[in-house]
Each structure stands twice: as structure tokens, then as C-alpha cells.
Amino acid sequence: MLKKTAAVSSLLILLFTPLSAYDLKSNMIQLGAELAEVQKSFIASDQKGVEVSIKRFSQHAQDLLGNKENFSAMLPKDKKHKANEAVMSAQIISHNVQIILDAIENKYNQSGIVRREESQRAYTYIEHACFRCHNIVRDKY
């Protein structure tokens, strides 16, 4: 009986919640958690952790933000025109993820401190791209 009640309650919630809004919100929460993992790895000086978590974050960010039509479908009607912001953010994220991966690989034969600072700066640019897109898409102004 309890399972049946829970199933009915879940169905009612789904019926009254726009599915696209749920998808967008849940995806944003997931990206936020993944970005937090990147930050934790930087703070712990865990190079392998940074590599694994930034790759996972990058893939999910590209899947969500990189396709204008898919992202637009998740937005309310009055915000659909702002899907370009998501695509731009995806490009900024991708560029800065590559900076981090190049630093881990030591592609340019730089010292550890230079690589660490450049990759941490790239991380802040990723954060900025996320916040910028979020604020533009979410807010009324």
C-alpha cells in the first residue's frame, strides 16, 4: 500500500511540474556538484582528481549547453532566445578545460607552479561562464 501511495504521489508531482524545468534544474545541480569536485581536487592538490572530475564536468557541460536546440527546448518560452548564452558558455568552458588538461599533461613544458596557477585561473573562468549563463538565462533583466 505504501509503495502505491508513493507511486501516485510521484506521478502527481511529475504531472504538475514541467518536465523541461526539472531536467534543466537537475542538470544544473549535477554540474554544480561536479564543479565542486574539481575545486576540492584543486584544494587537495590531487592532480588525478582534477583530471577525472574536470573531464566528467566538461562532458556533461557540453551535453547540456553545447546544443542550442536541445538547451532551448528546456527553457520557458520567454527565455528560449537566450539559448545562445548557453552555447557561448559551453565554448568558454571547453577552452578552459583544455587549458587545465594541457597543464596536467605539461604540454608546454612549464614549471609546476605556473601550470597550477594557469589551471586554477582557467577554473575560475569556467565558474564565471557558468554564473554568467545562469544569471542571463534565469534573471528578468
Could you give the CA distance from residue 116 to residue 109 in angstroms, rounded to a whole number? 13
- 95, 99, 101: which is closest to 52 by C-alpha? 101
Could you name the CATH architecture of 19-138? Up-down Bundle (1.20)
CB atoms within 10 A of CB 25: 12
Could you give the CA distance from residue 73 to residue 47 in angstroms, rounded to a whole number? 37
CB 104 within 8 A of CB 54: no
What letter would DSSP give residue 139? S
CA dihedral 109, 115, 118, 119 (to 10 degrees): 120
Question: How much is the average pLDDT of 22-38?
Answer: 89
What pTM value is reported for the model? 0.82
Could you give the CA distance from residue 39 to residue 140 in angstroms, rounded to a whole number? 30
pLDDT digits (tens, 9 = 90+) for 128-140: 999 999 888 877 7
pLDDT digits (tens, 9 = 90+) for 86-125: 999 999 999 999 999 999 999 999 999 999 999 999 999 9
Q: What's the burial of 140, exposed, middle or buried (CB within 10 Å: 0-12/13-18/19+)?
A: exposed
